[in-house]
Amino acid sequence: MPSSTVTTAPRTPARRLAATAAATVLAVGPLALATAGPAAATGDHGGKAGAVVLRTGLDVSLLNKTVNVPLKAALNEVQAPASADKTTLTVNLDGVDHGRPVNVLRADVAKAKATVDARKAEGFTQLVHAKVHVPGLPLLSLIEVDQVTSRALCEAGKKPVATSNLLGSVTVLGKKVTLTAGGTTEVKVPGVGDVSLALSSTSTTSRTAAASALRLRVSVNPLKLNVAEVNGEVTLAEATCESPKPQAPGKETPVVSTPSPDTVVPQGTKEEPPADLAETGGNSATPYIAGGAFLLLAAGAGSVALTRRNRARA
Protein backbone atom coordinates (compact mmCIF):
# COMPACT_ATOMS: atom_id res chain seq x y z
CA MET A 1 0.00 0.00 0.00
CA PRO A 2 2.11 2.89 -1.29
CA SER A 3 -0.31 5.59 -0.15
CA SER A 4 0.22 4.67 3.50
CA THR A 5 3.97 4.89 3.11
CA VAL A 6 3.83 8.27 1.38
CA THR A 7 1.33 9.72 3.86
CA THR A 8 3.01 8.48 7.05
CA ALA A 9 6.68 9.21 6.35
CA PRO A 10 6.51 13.04 6.14
CA ARG A 11 4.69 13.29 9.50
CA THR A 12 7.79 12.27 11.45
CA PRO A 13 9.80 15.51 10.80
CA ALA A 14 6.74 17.60 11.56
CA ARG A 15 6.20 15.82 14.86
CA ARG A 16 9.87 16.18 15.73
CA LEU A 17 9.73 19.89 14.95
CA ALA A 18 6.70 20.32 17.20
CA ALA A 19 8.36 18.35 20.02
CA THR A 20 11.54 20.38 19.65
CA ALA A 21 9.60 23.65 19.89
CA ALA A 22 7.74 22.44 22.98
CA ALA A 23 11.00 21.40 24.63
CA THR A 24 12.44 24.83 23.86
CA VAL A 25 9.55 26.55 25.62
CA LEU A 26 9.87 24.29 28.66
CA ALA A 27 13.62 24.88 28.85
CA VAL A 28 13.58 28.66 28.32
CA GLY A 29 10.59 29.37 30.56
CA PRO A 30 12.14 28.24 33.89
CA LEU A 31 15.47 29.85 32.93
CA ALA A 32 13.78 33.20 32.41
CA LEU A 33 11.99 32.93 35.76
CA ALA A 34 15.13 31.85 37.57
CA THR A 35 17.12 34.85 36.29
CA ALA A 36 14.40 37.46 36.82
CA GLY A 37 14.33 39.68 39.91
CA PRO A 38 17.20 38.40 42.12
CA ALA A 39 16.73 38.93 45.86
CA ALA A 40 18.84 41.65 47.53
CA ALA A 41 19.49 42.07 51.24
CA THR A 42 21.86 44.18 53.33
CA GLY A 43 22.90 43.80 56.96
CA ASP A 44 23.15 47.56 57.51
CA HIS A 45 20.22 48.55 59.72
CA GLY A 46 21.41 52.16 60.09
CA GLY A 47 21.34 52.01 63.88
CA LYS A 48 24.26 52.80 66.20
CA ALA A 49 24.99 52.34 69.90
CA GLY A 50 27.91 52.99 72.21
CA ALA A 51 28.80 52.80 75.89
CA VAL A 52 31.75 53.75 78.10
CA VAL A 53 32.18 53.27 81.85
CA LEU A 54 34.79 56.01 82.41
CA ARG A 55 36.23 58.69 80.15
CA THR A 56 38.99 61.11 81.15
CA GLY A 57 40.23 64.23 79.40
CA LEU A 58 42.83 65.62 81.80
CA ASP A 59 45.98 67.71 81.53
CA VAL A 60 48.61 66.85 84.15
CA SER A 61 51.24 69.52 84.87
CA LEU A 62 54.51 68.32 86.39
CA LEU A 63 56.61 70.13 88.99
CA ASN A 64 59.97 69.63 87.34
CA LYS A 65 58.84 70.27 83.77
CA THR A 66 57.14 73.10 81.95
CA VAL A 67 55.01 70.77 79.80
CA ASN A 68 51.67 69.09 80.39
CA VAL A 69 51.15 65.34 80.18
CA PRO A 70 47.71 64.55 78.68
CA LEU A 71 45.65 61.83 80.31
CA LYS A 72 43.01 60.83 77.80
CA ALA A 73 41.73 57.35 78.57
CA ALA A 74 38.53 55.31 78.42
CA LEU A 75 37.49 52.18 80.30
CA ASN A 76 35.24 49.63 78.63
CA GLU A 77 34.42 51.81 75.64
CA VAL A 78 32.43 49.72 73.15
CA GLN A 79 30.53 50.22 69.89
CA ALA A 80 27.70 47.88 68.91
CA PRO A 81 27.62 44.99 68.93
CA ALA A 82 30.03 44.52 71.84
CA SER A 83 30.29 44.31 75.62
CA ALA A 84 33.02 44.66 78.25
CA ASP A 85 33.30 44.27 82.00
CA LYS A 86 36.87 45.17 83.00
CA THR A 87 36.81 46.58 86.55
CA THR A 88 40.17 48.36 86.79
CA LEU A 89 42.01 50.98 84.75
CA THR A 90 45.66 51.86 85.20
CA VAL A 91 47.75 54.25 83.10
CA ASN A 92 51.45 55.00 82.85
CA LEU A 93 52.46 58.68 82.67
CA ASP A 94 56.06 59.70 82.12
CA GLY A 95 57.36 61.75 85.04
CA VAL A 96 54.57 60.78 87.46
CA ASP A 97 55.55 58.75 90.54
CA HIS A 98 58.79 57.56 88.92
CA GLY A 99 56.91 55.91 86.05
CA ARG A 100 54.84 53.62 88.26
CA PRO A 101 51.26 52.85 87.05
CA VAL A 102 48.54 55.25 88.18
CA ASN A 103 45.37 53.51 89.31
CA VAL A 104 42.61 55.64 87.75
CA LEU A 105 39.58 53.46 88.50
CA ARG A 106 38.71 50.47 90.64
CA ALA A 107 35.18 49.03 90.88
CA ASP A 108 33.34 45.90 91.92
CA VAL A 109 31.29 46.04 88.70
CA ALA A 110 32.08 48.02 85.55
CA LYS A 111 29.88 46.98 82.63
CA ALA A 112 29.43 48.47 79.19
CA LYS A 113 27.14 46.97 76.55
CA ALA A 114 25.94 48.09 73.13
CA THR A 115 23.45 46.23 70.90
CA VAL A 116 21.89 46.96 67.50
CA ASP A 117 19.35 45.09 65.38
CA ALA A 118 16.73 45.96 62.77
CA ARG A 119 14.28 47.25 65.41
CA LYS A 120 16.38 49.08 67.99
CA ALA A 121 19.78 50.29 69.18
CA GLU A 122 20.71 50.38 72.86
CA GLY A 123 23.69 51.43 74.97
CA PHE A 124 23.99 50.52 78.66
CA THR A 125 26.59 51.11 81.39
CA GLN A 126 26.78 50.22 85.07
CA LEU A 127 29.24 50.99 87.89
CA VAL A 128 29.07 49.50 91.39
CA HIS A 129 31.28 50.56 94.32
CA ALA A 130 33.62 52.59 92.14
CA LYS A 131 36.57 54.84 93.09
CA VAL A 132 38.23 57.27 90.70
CA HIS A 133 41.74 58.66 91.26
CA VAL A 134 43.79 61.33 89.46
CA PRO A 135 47.59 61.53 89.31
CA GLY A 136 49.10 63.10 92.42
CA LEU A 137 46.32 61.90 94.74
CA PRO A 138 47.06 58.18 95.28
CA LEU A 139 45.28 57.94 98.64
CA LEU A 140 42.46 60.44 98.23
CA SER A 141 39.73 59.50 95.75
CA LEU A 142 38.51 62.12 93.35
CA ILE A 143 35.04 60.57 93.61
CA GLU A 144 33.44 57.45 95.08
CA VAL A 145 29.98 56.18 94.10
CA ASP A 146 27.85 53.26 95.28
CA GLN A 147 26.03 52.59 92.01
CA VAL A 148 25.34 54.44 88.77
CA THR A 149 23.66 53.30 85.54
CA SER A 150 22.95 54.93 82.19
CA ARG A 151 20.82 53.68 79.32
CA ALA A 152 20.10 55.07 75.86
CA LEU A 153 17.34 53.30 73.89
CA CYS A 154 16.49 54.16 70.27
CA GLU A 155 13.68 52.17 68.61
CA ALA A 156 12.74 52.56 64.96
CA GLY A 157 9.71 54.80 64.59
CA LYS A 158 9.64 55.76 68.29
CA LYS A 159 10.96 58.63 70.36
CA PRO A 160 14.44 57.83 71.78
CA VAL A 161 14.81 57.53 75.56
CA ALA A 162 17.82 58.43 77.72
CA THR A 163 17.98 57.72 81.46
CA SER A 164 20.59 57.81 84.23
CA ASN A 165 20.28 56.69 87.84
CA LEU A 166 22.48 57.32 90.84
CA LEU A 167 21.91 55.12 93.89
CA GLY A 168 23.53 55.47 97.27
CA SER A 169 26.04 58.03 98.48
CA VAL A 170 28.62 60.10 96.61
CA THR A 171 31.94 61.20 98.09
CA VAL A 172 34.14 63.85 96.43
CA LEU A 173 37.69 64.49 97.68
CA GLY A 174 36.79 62.81 100.96
CA LYS A 175 33.54 64.75 101.47
CA LYS A 176 30.06 63.28 101.19
CA VAL A 177 27.90 65.43 98.96
CA THR A 178 24.24 65.73 98.02
CA LEU A 179 23.64 66.14 94.30
CA THR A 180 20.71 67.97 92.76
CA ALA A 181 19.16 67.03 89.43
CA GLY A 182 19.45 69.61 86.70
CA GLY A 183 22.19 71.59 88.43
CA THR A 184 25.83 71.47 89.49
CA THR A 185 27.42 70.85 92.86
CA GLU A 186 30.66 72.58 93.85
CA VAL A 187 33.13 70.90 96.18
CA LYS A 188 36.13 72.90 97.44
CA VAL A 189 38.90 71.37 99.52
CA PRO A 190 41.58 73.82 100.74
CA GLY A 191 45.05 72.79 99.68
CA VAL A 192 43.72 70.17 97.29
CA GLY A 193 41.44 71.77 94.73
CA ASP A 194 37.94 72.22 93.36
CA VAL A 195 35.53 69.82 91.70
CA SER A 196 32.28 70.71 89.94
CA LEU A 197 29.76 67.88 89.43
CA ALA A 198 26.78 67.68 87.05
CA LEU A 199 24.28 64.89 87.73
CA SER A 200 22.39 62.84 85.17
CA SER A 201 22.97 64.66 81.93
CA THR A 202 20.61 63.41 79.20
CA SER A 203 19.67 64.58 75.71
CA THR A 204 17.47 63.29 72.88
CA THR A 205 16.62 64.18 69.29
CA SER A 206 14.22 62.59 66.82
CA ARG A 207 16.63 59.66 66.25
CA THR A 208 19.40 59.90 68.89
CA ALA A 209 19.80 59.71 72.64
CA ALA A 210 22.70 60.22 75.06
CA ALA A 211 22.99 59.81 78.81
CA SER A 212 25.79 60.20 81.35
CA ALA A 213 25.43 59.59 85.06
CA LEU A 214 28.08 62.06 86.25
CA ARG A 215 30.28 64.74 84.69
CA LEU A 216 33.08 66.20 86.76
CA ARG A 217 35.02 69.37 86.08
CA VAL A 218 38.30 68.90 87.90
CA SER A 219 40.88 71.45 89.03
CA VAL A 220 43.23 70.16 91.73
CA ASN A 221 46.78 70.98 92.83
CA PRO A 222 48.11 67.93 94.68
CA LEU A 223 51.82 68.98 94.76
CA LYS A 224 52.68 65.31 95.31
CA LEU A 225 54.32 62.62 93.19
CA ASN A 226 55.80 65.36 90.99
CA VAL A 227 52.32 66.58 90.03
CA ALA A 228 51.60 70.30 90.27
CA GLU A 229 48.11 70.55 88.78
CA VAL A 230 45.41 68.40 87.20
CA ASN A 231 42.71 70.06 85.09
CA GLY A 232 40.01 68.69 82.82
CA GLU A 233 36.90 66.53 82.77
CA VAL A 234 35.89 63.06 83.92
CA THR A 235 32.70 61.33 82.74
CA LEU A 236 31.12 58.32 84.45
CA ALA A 237 28.65 55.87 82.88
CA GLU A 238 27.94 57.19 79.40
CA ALA A 239 25.57 55.60 76.84
CA THR A 240 24.52 56.69 73.34
CA CYS A 241 22.32 55.38 70.52
CA GLU A 242 20.90 56.20 67.09
CA SER A 243 17.65 54.67 65.81
CA PRO A 244 17.67 52.18 62.92
CA LYS A 245 16.08 53.52 59.75
CA PRO A 246 12.41 52.48 59.65
CA GLN A 247 11.59 50.15 56.76
CA ALA A 248 8.85 51.46 54.51
CA PRO A 249 6.05 48.91 53.95
CA GLY A 250 6.12 47.17 50.60
CA LYS A 251 9.74 48.10 49.90
CA GLU A 252 11.20 44.66 50.50
CA THR A 253 12.68 43.06 47.39
CA PRO A 254 10.66 39.96 46.43
CA VAL A 255 12.47 36.64 46.16
CA VAL A 256 11.64 34.87 42.88
CA SER A 257 12.06 31.11 42.92
CA THR A 258 11.34 28.32 40.46
CA PRO A 259 8.81 25.70 41.64
CA SER A 260 10.20 22.24 42.10
CA PRO A 261 8.96 19.47 39.76
CA ASP A 262 7.01 17.96 42.66
CA THR A 263 4.99 21.13 43.24
CA VAL A 264 1.30 20.59 42.43
CA VAL A 265 -0.94 23.55 41.66
CA PRO A 266 -4.66 22.72 42.14
CA GLN A 267 -6.74 23.16 39.03
CA GLY A 268 -9.03 26.15 38.93
CA THR A 269 -6.79 28.24 41.20
CA LYS A 270 -5.50 31.54 39.96
CA GLU A 271 -2.02 32.54 41.00
CA GLU A 272 -1.63 36.17 42.02
CA PRO A 273 0.86 38.07 39.83
CA PRO A 274 4.02 39.43 41.49
CA ALA A 275 3.78 42.96 42.90
CA ASP A 276 6.21 44.37 40.31
CA LEU A 277 4.21 43.25 37.25
CA ALA A 278 2.67 45.91 35.04
CA GLU A 279 -1.10 46.12 34.77
CA THR A 280 -0.93 44.54 31.31
CA GLY A 281 0.17 41.26 32.90
CA GLY A 282 3.59 41.15 31.23
CA ASN A 283 6.89 40.36 32.92
CA SER A 284 10.50 39.61 31.95
CA ALA A 285 9.55 36.08 30.76
CA THR A 286 6.95 37.32 28.24
CA PRO A 287 9.32 37.47 25.18
CA TYR A 288 10.43 33.87 25.78
CA ILE A 289 6.88 32.57 26.12
CA ALA A 290 5.77 34.46 22.99
CA GLY A 291 8.73 33.04 21.02
CA GLY A 292 7.92 29.51 22.15
CA ALA A 293 4.27 29.92 21.15
CA PHE A 294 5.36 31.15 17.74
CA LEU A 295 7.54 28.06 17.27
CA LEU A 296 4.64 25.78 18.22
CA LEU A 297 2.34 27.60 15.80
CA ALA A 298 4.88 27.36 12.97
CA ALA A 299 5.43 23.66 13.62
CA GLY A 300 1.71 22.97 13.56
CA ALA A 301 1.21 24.93 10.35
CA GLY A 302 4.09 23.09 8.69
CA SER A 303 2.68 19.72 9.70
CA VAL A 304 -0.76 20.57 8.25
CA ALA A 305 0.79 21.83 5.00
CA LEU A 306 2.89 18.70 4.52
CA THR A 307 -0.10 16.45 5.21
CA ARG A 308 -2.29 18.27 2.66
CA ARG A 309 0.49 18.16 0.03
CA ASN A 310 0.98 14.41 0.48
CA ARG A 311 -2.73 13.79 0.23
CA ALA A 312 -2.86 15.83 -2.96
CA ARG A 313 -0.04 13.77 -4.47
CA ALA A 314 -1.82 10.58 -3.49
In this prediction, residue 154 carries a pLDDT of: 97
Percent of the chain with pLDDT over 70: 63
pLDDT digits (tens, 9 = 90+) for 9-35: 444 444 444 444 444 433 334 333 333
pTM: 0.64
SS (H, E, C) 169-211: EEEECCEEECCCCCCEEEEEECCCEEEEEEEEEEEECCCEEEE
Q: Determine the average pLDDT of the residues in 178-193.
A: 85
pLDDT digits (tens, 9 = 90+) for 76-86: 999 999 999 99
Residue 265 has pLDDT above 80, yes or no: no
CA distance 152 to 49: 8
Residue 278 has pLDDT above 70, yes or no: no
Residue 233, amino acid: E
CA distance 109 to 59: 27
Question: Could you give the C-alpha distances from 23 to 91, 158, 258, 261, 287, in angstroms and in order?
Answer: 76, 56, 17, 15, 16
Other residues' Cβ atoms within 10 Å of the Cβ of residue 50: 21
In this prediction, residue 306 carries a pLDDT of: 53
Q: Determine the average pLDDT of the residues in 46-74.
A: 90
Q: Determine the average pLDDT of the residues in 118-135.
A: 95
Q: Determine the average pLDDT of the residues in 263-292.
A: 44
Q: Determine the average pLDDT of the residues in 129-152.
A: 94
- DSSP structure string for 215-262: EEEEEE---BTTEEEEEEEEEEEEEEEEPPPPPPTT-SPPPP-PPPTT
CA dihedral 72, 75, 80, 83 (to 10 degrees): 170
Averaged pLDDT of the chain: 75
- Weakest mean pLDDT among 45-49, 63-67, 191-195, 208-212: 63-67
Highest mean predicted confidence (pLDDT) among 7-11, 14-18, 107-111, 167-171: 107-111
Other residues' Cβ atoms within 10 Å of the Cβ of residue 208: 17
Residue 8 has pLDDT above 90, yes or no: no
